[in-house]
Protein backbone atom coordinates (compact mmCIF):
# COMPACT_ATOMS: atom_id res chain seq x y z
CA UNK A 1 0.00 0.00 0.00
CA UNK A 2 1.47 3.34 -1.01
CA UNK A 3 1.03 6.98 -0.16
CA UNK A 4 -1.83 9.12 -1.44
CA UNK A 5 -1.38 10.83 -4.80
CA UNK A 6 1.39 13.40 -4.70
CA UNK A 7 -0.82 16.47 -5.04
CA UNK A 8 -3.23 15.47 -2.27
CA UNK A 9 -0.45 14.41 0.07
CA UNK A 10 1.47 17.59 -0.66
CA UNK A 11 -1.56 19.71 0.20
CA UNK A 12 -2.03 17.83 3.48
CA UNK A 13 1.59 18.33 4.38
CA UNK A 14 1.33 22.03 3.53
CA UNK A 15 -1.67 22.31 5.84
CA UNK A 16 0.27 20.51 8.57
CA UNK A 17 3.18 22.89 8.17
CA UNK A 18 0.86 25.89 8.23
CA UNK A 19 -1.14 24.81 11.29
CA UNK A 20 1.53 23.22 13.47
CA UNK A 21 2.82 24.92 16.61
CA UNK A 22 5.37 26.48 16.67
CA UNK A 23 4.69 28.15 13.27
CA UNK A 24 6.12 26.55 10.19
CA UNK A 25 6.14 28.00 6.66
CA UNK A 26 2.99 27.20 4.63
CA UNK A 27 4.82 26.14 1.50
CA UNK A 28 3.46 23.34 -0.68
CA UNK A 29 6.25 20.76 -0.65
CA UNK A 30 7.59 18.89 -3.63
CA UNK A 31 5.73 15.54 -3.62
CA UNK A 32 8.95 13.83 -4.61
CA UNK A 33 10.75 15.24 -1.57
CA UNK A 34 9.20 15.56 1.90
CA UNK A 35 6.29 13.23 1.17
CA UNK A 36 8.74 10.56 0.06
CA UNK A 37 10.72 11.08 3.27
CA UNK A 38 7.60 10.44 5.38
CA UNK A 39 6.67 7.39 3.31
CA UNK A 40 10.19 5.99 3.37
CA UNK A 41 10.44 6.47 7.14
CA UNK A 42 7.38 4.27 7.67
CA UNK A 43 8.47 1.74 5.05
CA UNK A 44 11.95 1.40 6.50
CA UNK A 45 10.71 0.59 9.99
CA UNK A 46 8.00 -1.84 8.89
CA UNK A 47 10.16 -3.61 6.31
CA UNK A 48 12.83 -4.24 8.93
CA UNK A 49 10.27 -5.41 11.47
CA UNK A 50 8.77 -7.87 8.99
CA UNK A 51 12.23 -9.22 8.16
CA UNK A 52 12.73 -9.69 11.92
CA UNK A 53 9.43 -11.65 12.14
CA UNK A 54 7.89 -9.12 14.53
CA UNK A 55 4.50 -9.92 12.97
CA UNK A 56 3.06 -11.66 9.90
CA UNK A 57 1.55 -8.40 8.63
CA UNK A 58 1.11 -4.75 9.49
CA UNK A 59 -0.06 -1.40 8.24
CA UNK A 60 1.25 1.97 9.35
CA UNK A 61 -0.37 5.34 8.69
CA UNK A 62 1.00 8.83 9.29
CA UNK A 63 -1.37 11.72 8.76
CA UNK A 64 -2.96 14.95 9.88
CA UNK A 65 -6.45 16.04 10.82
CA UNK A 66 -7.09 16.42 7.07
CA UNK A 67 -6.12 12.88 6.06
CA UNK A 68 -3.33 10.35 5.59
CA UNK A 69 0.03 11.58 4.38
CA UNK A 70 1.22 8.04 3.79
CA UNK A 71 -0.04 4.51 4.39
CA UNK A 72 2.23 1.51 4.06
CA UNK A 73 1.44 -2.19 4.48
CA UNK A 74 3.80 -5.15 4.73
CA UNK A 75 3.56 -8.91 4.88
CA UNK A 76 0.36 -10.95 4.95
CA UNK A 77 -2.50 -11.16 7.43
CA UNK A 78 -1.37 -14.70 8.33
CA UNK A 79 1.90 -16.61 8.03
CA UNK A 80 0.49 -18.84 5.28
CA UNK A 81 1.96 -18.05 1.87
CA UNK A 82 -1.55 -17.92 0.41
CA UNK A 83 -2.83 -15.33 2.92
CA UNK A 84 -3.69 -11.92 1.44
CA UNK A 85 -1.69 -8.78 2.08
CA UNK A 86 -3.18 -6.32 4.58
CA UNK A 87 -4.77 -3.12 3.36
CA UNK A 88 -6.84 -0.21 4.66
CA UNK A 89 -9.91 -2.50 4.93
CA UNK A 90 -8.26 -5.29 6.92
CA UNK A 91 -9.95 -5.81 10.29
CA UNK A 92 -7.58 -5.94 13.25
CA UNK A 93 -8.29 -6.94 16.84
CA UNK A 94 -7.56 -3.65 18.64
CA UNK A 95 -7.12 -5.20 22.11
CA UNK A 96 -6.61 -2.33 24.60
CA UNK A 97 -7.07 0.38 21.99
CA UNK A 98 -10.68 -0.52 22.80
CA UNK A 99 -10.17 1.32 26.10
CA UNK A 100 -9.63 4.68 24.41
CA UNK A 101 -11.26 4.46 20.98
CA UNK A 102 -14.38 2.94 22.52
CA UNK A 103 -14.96 3.18 26.26
CA UNK A 104 -13.06 6.42 26.95
CA UNK A 105 -14.75 8.20 24.04
CA UNK A 106 -18.12 7.18 25.46
CA UNK A 107 -17.09 8.45 28.90
CA UNK A 108 -15.96 11.75 27.35
CA UNK A 109 -19.41 12.23 25.85
CA UNK A 110 -21.22 11.36 29.07
CA UNK A 111 -19.01 13.68 31.13
CA UNK A 112 -19.52 16.64 28.82
CA UNK A 113 -23.29 15.96 28.93
CA UNK A 114 -23.13 16.06 32.76
CA UNK A 115 -24.43 12.51 32.95
CA UNK A 116 -21.24 11.26 34.63
CA UNK A 117 -19.13 13.19 37.17
CA UNK A 118 -15.44 12.40 37.20
CA UNK A 119 -15.11 12.78 40.95
CA UNK A 120 -18.29 10.93 41.81
CA UNK A 121 -17.91 7.55 43.52
CA UNK A 122 -18.22 4.60 41.18
CA UNK A 123 -20.88 3.25 43.54
CA UNK A 124 -23.20 6.08 42.48
CA UNK A 125 -23.51 4.37 39.11
CA UNK A 126 -22.78 0.78 40.15
CA UNK A 127 -24.16 0.30 43.70
CA UNK A 128 -22.98 -3.33 43.57
CA UNK A 129 -19.39 -2.06 43.67
CA UNK A 130 -19.03 -2.27 47.43
CA UNK A 131 -16.55 -3.38 50.03
CA UNK A 132 -13.73 -2.00 52.13
CA UNK A 133 -12.48 1.32 50.73
CA UNK A 134 -14.57 1.13 47.56
CA UNK A 135 -16.80 4.03 48.60
CA UNK A 136 -13.78 6.28 47.93
CA UNK A 137 -13.09 4.99 44.41
CA UNK A 138 -14.14 7.57 41.83
CA UNK A 139 -14.62 7.51 38.06
CA UNK A 140 -11.40 9.55 37.79
CA UNK A 141 -9.55 6.85 39.73
CA UNK A 142 -10.72 4.20 37.25
CA UNK A 143 -9.76 6.33 34.24
CA UNK A 144 -6.26 6.99 35.63
CA UNK A 145 -5.73 3.39 36.77
CA UNK A 146 -5.30 4.55 40.36
CA UNK A 147 -8.39 2.94 41.92
CA UNK A 148 -6.50 0.38 43.98
CA UNK A 149 -7.94 -2.49 41.96
CA UNK A 150 -5.55 -5.21 40.83
CA UNK A 151 -4.46 -5.30 37.22
CA UNK A 152 -6.17 -8.52 36.17
CA UNK A 153 -7.68 -11.81 37.18
CA UNK A 154 -8.53 -14.89 35.07
CA UNK A 155 -12.28 -14.38 34.74
CA UNK A 156 -12.36 -16.88 31.90
CA UNK A 157 -11.31 -19.57 34.36
CA UNK A 158 -13.34 -18.32 37.32
CA UNK A 159 -16.71 -17.76 35.64
CA UNK A 160 -19.01 -19.75 33.40
CA UNK A 161 -21.10 -16.82 32.09
CA UNK A 162 -20.79 -13.05 31.52
CA UNK A 163 -23.01 -12.11 34.49
CA UNK A 164 -20.89 -14.22 36.81
CA UNK A 165 -17.71 -12.65 35.48
CA UNK A 166 -19.05 -9.13 36.09
CA UNK A 167 -20.10 -10.11 39.61
CA UNK A 168 -16.53 -11.27 40.27
CA UNK A 169 -15.12 -7.94 39.05
CA UNK A 170 -17.55 -5.99 41.22
CA UNK A 171 -16.61 -8.05 44.27
CA UNK A 172 -12.83 -7.92 43.74
CA UNK A 173 -11.21 -6.26 46.80
CA UNK A 174 -8.83 -3.33 46.47
CA UNK A 175 -5.09 -3.98 46.68
CA UNK A 176 -4.30 -0.44 47.86
CA UNK A 177 -6.17 2.68 48.91
CA UNK A 178 -7.52 4.75 46.00
CA UNK A 179 -5.07 7.27 44.60
CA UNK A 180 -1.98 5.72 46.16
CA UNK A 181 -0.41 4.31 43.01
CA UNK A 182 -0.98 3.63 39.33
CA UNK A 183 -1.67 -0.01 38.41
CA UNK A 184 -2.87 -0.52 34.84
CA UNK A 185 -6.14 -2.36 35.38
CA UNK A 186 -8.34 -4.20 32.92
CA UNK A 187 -10.80 -4.66 35.79
CA UNK A 188 -11.24 -0.90 36.10
CA UNK A 189 -11.89 -0.57 32.37
CA UNK A 190 -14.47 -3.36 32.53
CA UNK A 191 -16.29 -1.41 35.27
CA UNK A 192 -16.17 1.80 33.23
CA UNK A 193 -17.83 -0.03 30.35
CA UNK A 194 -20.60 -1.06 32.72
CA UNK A 195 -20.98 2.56 33.89
CA UNK A 196 -21.54 3.60 30.27
CA UNK A 197 -24.24 0.97 29.96
CA UNK A 198 -25.91 1.83 33.26
CA UNK A 199 -25.98 5.59 32.58
CA UNK A 200 -26.97 5.43 28.90
CA UNK A 201 -29.40 2.54 29.11
CA UNK A 202 -27.73 0.98 26.07
CA UNK A 203 -25.30 -1.88 25.72
CA UNK A 204 -21.73 -0.66 25.17
CA UNK A 205 -21.59 -1.86 21.58
CA UNK A 206 -24.95 -0.26 20.75
CA UNK A 207 -23.95 3.03 22.42
CA UNK A 208 -20.69 3.29 20.50
CA UNK A 209 -22.30 2.37 17.18
CA UNK A 210 -24.99 5.00 17.65
CA UNK A 211 -23.05 7.88 19.19
CA UNK A 212 -19.43 7.47 18.03
CA UNK A 213 -18.74 5.13 15.14
CA UNK A 214 -21.94 5.82 13.18
CA UNK A 215 -21.61 9.62 13.25
CA UNK A 216 -17.91 9.37 12.33
CA UNK A 217 -18.55 7.07 9.37
CA UNK A 218 -16.44 4.33 10.97
CA UNK A 219 -18.44 1.61 9.25
CA UNK A 220 -15.91 -1.17 9.91
CA UNK A 221 -15.40 -0.58 13.64
CA UNK A 222 -17.34 -3.04 15.78
CA UNK A 223 -17.43 -5.70 18.41
CA UNK A 224 -18.03 -9.29 17.28
CA UNK A 225 -17.55 -9.01 13.50
CA UNK A 226 -20.16 -10.87 11.50
CA UNK A 227 -18.89 -14.18 10.07
CA UNK A 228 -19.33 -12.70 6.58
CA UNK A 229 -16.42 -10.35 7.40
CA UNK A 230 -14.00 -12.99 8.68
CA UNK A 231 -12.01 -13.12 5.44
CA UNK A 232 -10.99 -9.51 6.16
CA UNK A 233 -9.90 -10.24 9.75
CA UNK A 234 -6.21 -10.68 10.55
CA UNK A 235 -5.96 -13.87 12.66
CA UNK A 236 -4.35 -13.61 16.08
CA UNK A 237 -3.09 -16.36 18.38
CA UNK A 238 -3.48 -20.10 18.49
CA UNK A 239 -5.20 -20.04 21.87
CA UNK A 240 -4.35 -22.96 24.18
CA UNK A 241 -7.53 -22.33 26.18
CA UNK A 242 -9.93 -22.35 23.22
CA UNK A 243 -7.79 -24.86 21.33
CA UNK A 244 -8.10 -23.03 18.02
CA UNK A 245 -6.50 -20.33 15.93
CA UNK A 246 -8.44 -17.17 16.76
CA UNK A 247 -9.99 -15.28 13.86
CA UNK A 248 -13.02 -13.02 13.99
CA UNK A 249 -13.44 -13.36 17.75
CA UNK A 250 -11.69 -11.35 20.42
CA UNK A 251 -8.21 -12.52 21.36
CA UNK A 252 -8.50 -11.44 25.02
CA UNK A 253 -9.86 -14.39 27.00
CA UNK A 254 -11.66 -12.27 29.60
CA UNK A 255 -13.38 -10.22 26.91
CA UNK A 256 -14.43 -13.48 25.25
CA UNK A 257 -15.91 -14.67 28.56
CA UNK A 258 -17.81 -11.37 28.77
CA UNK A 259 -19.50 -12.13 25.46
CA UNK A 260 -17.02 -10.30 23.24
CA UNK A 261 -18.13 -6.82 24.36
CA UNK A 262 -16.21 -5.04 27.12
CA UNK A 263 -14.69 -1.71 28.05
CA UNK A 264 -11.19 -3.14 28.11
CA UNK A 265 -11.03 -5.12 24.84
CA UNK A 266 -13.13 -6.50 22.02
CA UNK A 267 -13.18 -3.85 19.27
CA UNK A 268 -12.12 -4.62 15.72
CA UNK A 269 -11.30 -1.84 13.27
CA UNK A 270 -9.40 -0.85 10.14
CA UNK A 271 -6.68 1.61 9.21
CA UNK A 272 -9.24 3.61 7.25
CA UNK A 273 -11.61 3.92 10.22
CA UNK A 274 -8.93 4.72 12.78
CA UNK A 275 -7.58 7.42 10.47
CA UNK A 276 -11.03 9.01 10.69
CA UNK A 277 -10.97 8.72 14.48
CA UNK A 278 -7.52 10.31 14.74
CA UNK A 279 -8.55 13.13 12.42
CA UNK A 280 -11.57 13.84 14.61
CA UNK A 281 -9.46 13.98 17.78
CA UNK A 282 -6.90 16.31 16.17
CA UNK A 283 -9.66 18.53 14.77
CA UNK A 284 -11.18 19.21 18.18
CA UNK A 285 -13.91 16.59 18.07
CA UNK A 286 -15.41 17.28 14.64
CA UNK A 287 -15.17 15.41 11.34
CA UNK A 288 -16.91 16.25 8.08
CA UNK A 289 -19.17 18.73 9.85
CA UNK A 290 -20.26 16.25 12.54
CA UNK A 291 -19.31 17.07 16.13
CA UNK A 292 -18.65 14.07 18.38
CA UNK A 293 -16.74 15.82 21.20
CA UNK A 294 -16.00 19.34 22.36
CA UNK A 295 -12.41 20.62 22.10
CA UNK A 296 -12.43 21.32 25.84
CA UNK A 297 -13.35 17.71 26.59
CA UNK A 298 -10.47 16.41 24.48
CA UNK A 299 -8.08 18.79 26.25
CA UNK A 300 -9.41 17.68 29.64
CA UNK A 301 -9.12 13.96 28.98
CA UNK A 302 -5.67 14.10 27.35
CA UNK A 303 -3.96 16.13 30.09
CA UNK A 304 -1.80 14.39 32.70
CA UNK A 305 -3.81 14.15 35.92
CA UNK A 306 -1.19 13.61 38.62
CA UNK A 307 2.43 13.94 37.44
CA UNK A 308 3.69 12.73 40.81
CA UNK A 309 1.81 9.47 40.37
CA UNK A 310 2.07 8.64 36.66
CA UNK A 311 2.02 10.04 33.13
CA UNK A 312 -1.61 8.96 32.72
CA UNK A 313 -4.32 11.24 31.43
CA UNK A 314 -8.00 10.23 31.64
CA UNK A 315 -8.05 6.91 29.81
CA UNK A 316 -5.21 8.03 27.55
CA UNK A 317 -1.45 7.70 27.98
CA UNK A 318 0.97 10.57 27.44
CA UNK A 319 4.67 10.40 26.50
CA UNK A 320 6.95 9.15 29.26
CA UNK A 321 10.21 8.92 27.32
CA UNK A 322 10.03 5.14 27.67
CA UNK A 323 6.64 4.18 26.22
CA UNK A 324 5.42 3.67 22.66
CA UNK A 325 5.25 7.43 21.98
CA UNK A 326 8.98 7.31 21.41
CA UNK A 327 11.25 10.18 22.33
CA UNK A 328 10.29 12.93 19.90
CA UNK A 329 6.58 13.61 20.42
CA UNK A 330 5.58 16.73 22.32
CA UNK A 331 4.35 16.71 25.90
CA UNK A 332 0.83 17.35 24.57
CA UNK A 333 0.76 14.04 22.67
CA UNK A 334 -1.59 11.26 23.73
CA UNK A 335 -2.12 7.68 22.66
CA UNK A 336 -2.41 4.05 23.67
CA UNK A 337 -1.36 0.53 22.71
CA UNK A 338 -3.08 -2.81 22.33
CA UNK A 339 -1.72 -6.22 23.36
CA UNK A 340 -2.27 -7.72 19.89
CA UNK A 341 0.26 -5.27 18.42
CA UNK A 342 -1.70 -2.08 17.83
CA UNK A 343 -0.95 1.53 18.74
CA UNK A 344 -2.22 5.03 18.00
CA UNK A 345 -0.52 8.29 18.96
CA UNK A 346 -1.65 11.85 18.22
CA UNK A 347 0.45 14.99 18.67
CA UNK A 348 -1.66 18.17 18.71
CA UNK A 349 1.47 20.33 18.71
CA UNK A 350 2.37 18.98 15.29
CA UNK A 351 -1.21 18.28 14.22
CA UNK A 352 -0.21 14.73 13.29
CA UNK A 353 -0.92 11.10 14.15
CA UNK A 354 0.97 7.80 13.89
CA UNK A 355 -1.07 4.59 13.64
CA UNK A 356 0.26 1.03 13.72
CA UNK A 357 -1.90 -2.07 13.29
CA UNK A 358 -0.40 -5.56 13.50
CA UNK A 359 -1.24 -9.05 14.70
CA UNK A 360 2.06 -9.68 16.44
CA UNK A 361 0.46 -12.37 18.67
CA UNK A 362 0.09 -14.65 15.63
CA UNK A 363 0.74 -17.47 16.30
CA UNK A 364 1.91 -16.81 19.88
CA UNK A 365 1.95 -13.92 22.36
CA UNK A 366 5.53 -14.89 23.18
CA UNK A 367 6.65 -12.73 20.25
CA UNK A 368 7.51 -9.44 22.00
CA UNK A 369 9.46 -7.61 19.27
CA UNK A 370 6.60 -5.13 18.77
CA UNK A 371 7.73 -2.85 21.62
CA UNK A 372 10.83 -1.63 19.82
CA UNK A 373 8.93 -1.41 16.52
CA UNK A 374 6.38 0.99 18.01
CA UNK A 375 9.10 3.28 19.31
CA UNK A 376 11.05 3.16 16.07
CA UNK A 377 7.97 4.00 14.00
CA UNK A 378 6.96 6.93 16.20
CA UNK A 379 10.48 8.39 16.22
CA UNK A 380 11.00 7.90 12.48
CA UNK A 381 7.63 9.41 11.59
CA UNK A 382 8.11 12.47 13.78
CA UNK A 383 11.65 13.01 12.49
CA UNK A 384 10.37 12.86 8.91
CA UNK A 385 7.52 15.28 9.64
CA UNK A 386 9.87 17.71 11.34
CA UNK A 387 12.25 17.51 8.38
CA UNK A 388 9.35 18.19 6.01
CA UNK A 389 8.20 21.20 8.08
CA UNK A 390 11.41 22.86 9.33
CA UNK A 391 11.12 25.61 11.91
CA UNK A 392 11.36 29.12 10.57
CA UNK A 393 14.83 30.52 11.28
CA UNK A 394 15.36 34.17 12.30
CA UNK A 395 16.93 36.46 9.73
CA UNK A 396 20.69 36.94 10.21
Is residue 24 over pLDDT 60? Answer: no
Tens of pLDDT, residues 272-302: 999 999 999 999 999 999 999 999 999 999 9
Within 8 A by CB and 6+ apart from 25, the residues are 17, 18, 389, 390, 392
pTM for the whole structure: 0.93
Q: Residue 389 — pLDDT band, cuts 50, 70, 90?
A: confident
Distance CA 347, CA 335 (A): 9
Least confident window among 34-43, 165-174, 225-234? 34-43
Domains of the chain: 1-87+319-396 (3.30.450), 98-269+285-316 (3.40.710.10)
Tens of pLDDT, residues 86-125: 999 999 999 999 999 999 999 999 999 999 999 999 999 9
Q: Residue 171 — pLDDT band, cuts 50, 70, 90?
A: very high
Tens of pLDDT, residues 334-353: 999 999 999 999 999 999 99
Q: Length of the chain in residues, anyone?
A: 396
Within 8 A by CB and 6+ apart from 316, the residues are 100, 104, 301, 302, 334, 335, 336
Tens of pLDDT, residues 85-94: 999 999 999 9
Q: Residue 1 — pLDDT band, cuts 50, 70, 90?
A: very low
Distance CA 256, CA 243 (A): 14
Tens of pLDDT, residues 207-223: 999 999 999 999 999 99
Supply the pLDDT for residue 10: 65
Q: Residue 388 — pLDDT band, cuts 50, 70, 90?
A: confident
Supply the pLDDT for residue 306: 95
Tens of pLDDT, residues 49-76: 999 999 999 999 999 999 999 999 999 9
Number of other residues whose CB lies within 10 A of the CB of residue 365: 15
Nearest CA-CA partner of 201 in 106, 297, 291: 106
DSSP codes, 321-360: SSSTTTTTS-TT-EEEEETTTEEEEEETTTTEEEEEEE-T
Amino acid sequence: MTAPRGGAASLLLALLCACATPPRPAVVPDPGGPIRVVRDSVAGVLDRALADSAFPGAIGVVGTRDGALTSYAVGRIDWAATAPAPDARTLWDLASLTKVVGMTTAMMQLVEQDRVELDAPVARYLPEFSGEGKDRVTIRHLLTHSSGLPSWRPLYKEAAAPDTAIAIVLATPLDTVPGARMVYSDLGAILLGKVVERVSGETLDAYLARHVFGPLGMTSTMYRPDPSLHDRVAPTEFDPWRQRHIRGEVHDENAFMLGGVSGHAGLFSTAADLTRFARMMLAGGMLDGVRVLRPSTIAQFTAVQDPGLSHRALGWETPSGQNSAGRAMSARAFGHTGFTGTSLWMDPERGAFVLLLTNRVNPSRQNTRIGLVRIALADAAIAALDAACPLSLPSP
